[in-house]
Amino acid sequence: MKQEACRKDAKHAFGVLQSRFAVVARPTRFWHKHILHDIMTTCIIMHNMIIADERDVTESIKDHMETPPPEVEMVLDENIRFQQFLARHRRIRDKDAHIALRNALINHLWDDYINSDN
């Protein structure tokens, strides 16, 4: 039973590393063992550094989090809501707006480059 618990913990830890680092998720058949060891050690160290950086040491430890009940919006007319969705979709897909935003971004980046100390 203890072996099963250890296997479960190892699978969970490896899954966390796979989801965070793409190099761990790829096939490694042709790599040397010492290179795999270095990669895994590096990923574990970076994962621990990320967790330590994200953790707030001043916050108290909570056993559970209480979430407020969800607010449900009652829709009286589905047609109006669907028309609003279509209007938002059209604004997102508007080619002229896309070109204007792209050009504004290019100008902004160019101005930053010109005004930088380089």
Are 24 and 43 spatial neighbours (Cβ–Cβ below 8 Å)? yes
CA distances in angstroms from 15 to 46, 69, 116, listed in the order given: 15, 32, 43
pLDDT digits (tens, 9 = 90+) for 48-104: 888 877 776 676 666 666 677 777 777 677 888 888 889 988 888 889 988 999 999
pTM over 0.85? The answer is no
Split at pLDDT 50, 70, 90, the class of 106 is: very high
pLDDT digits (tens, 9 = 90+) for 6-39: 888 888 888 888 888 877 777 777 778 888 888 8
Backbone angles phi, psi at 75, to 5 degrees: -105, 120
What residue has token string 């203890």? 2
Q: Which two tokens stand for residue 21?
A: 């680092």
- Three-state DSSP string of 52-109: HHHCCCCCCCCCCCCCCCCCCCCCCCHHHHHHHHHHHHHHHCCHHHHHHHHHHHHHHH
